Amino acid sequence: MELKVHNIKGKETDKKIKLNKAIFGIEPNDHAIYLDVKQYLANNRKGLHKSKERAEIAGSTRKIKKQKGTGTARAGSIKNPLFRGGGTIFGPRPRSYDQKINKKVKKLARKSALAYKAKNNEILILEDFKLSNPRTSDYLKIIKAFGLESKKTLLVINELSNNIYLSSRNIKNSKVIINSELNTYEITDANNILILESAVEGIESTLK
């Protein structure tokens, strides 16, 4: 599978890059994608929800009324969950939502997601470029050159570039990621993926 390399002005160059068919041309596995996306979203949950139980409520421990003769139900504490301001019965507690899936399934999921994008012609290869200053307008020009300003885009770079990252940060539907951090959720969430020429080799070496 060969794709033409584009410059940042949206024009095709004379260069072509060959994508590994074992990564970008496999038969996609929908269930692997589902499992990996589910794990990614679950692992991002903080699980810090907490309500105060009876033992944690501030208040007196004295018996609030006599046991019998009041004509109402007996009550031994102001912290009773049945009273306003009392403890919560079976309230939420901090917990971990982390899930685990096998490395081979994660790798298959990323390959499948990339294969879908390649099949739908939603992958663009860009010449390596650098931005001299972090300027949102410069990054927006690149996105507009491909007519993607109204779509979700994911730019995959080979190494961390603060100028590129900072330039994209204020654009709502654009995200920049290093090839080693590429994950199934980011791939499937984007409408189009822009991959720098130097990042292709890194993706293929990670997923081969």
Mention the CATH class of domain 2-45+100-207: alpha beta
User: Where along the chain do its domains lie?
Assistant: 2-45+100-207, 47-96
Strand partners, 125: 5, 195
Round to whole Å and give the CA distance between 184 and 90. 36
Whole-angstrom Cα distance, residue 25 to residue 119?
Answer: 8
Dihedral sign for Cα atoms in the order 11, 150, 28, 36: positive
Each residue's pLDDT expressed in tens, for the chain with a length of 208 residues:
788 989 988 888 888 889 989 999 999 999 999 999 999 999 999 999 999 999 999 988 899 999 999 999 999 999 999 999 999 999 999 999 999 999 999 999 999 999 999 999 999 999 989 888 999 999 999 999 999 988 999 999 998 889 999 999 999 899 999 998 999 999 999 999 999 998 999 999 888 8
Place of tokens 């709502």: 172
Cross-strand partners of 156:
177, 195
Distance CA 24, CA 176 (A): 20
Output the pLDDT for position 12: 85
Amino acid letter at 101? Answer: I
pLDDT in the model for residue 10: 83
Cα separation of 87 and 56, whole Å?
7
Which pLDDT score, from 0 to 100, does residue 163 have?
Answer: 92
Read off the pTM: 0.82
Contact 62, 107 (CB under 8 A): no
Q: State the Cα–Cα distance between residues 114 and 154, nearest whole angstrom.
A: 12
Pairing of strands 12-18, 2-6: antiparallel
| Contacts with 79 (C-beta within 8 Å, 6 or more apart), sequence order | 54, 57, 59, 61, 86, 87
**Can you say how many angstroms the Cα of residue 75 is from the centroid of all Cα atoms in its chain?**
50
The confidence score (pLDDT) of residue 1 equals 77
- CA distance linking residue 160 with residue 206, whole number of Å: 17
pLDDT given at position 3? 87
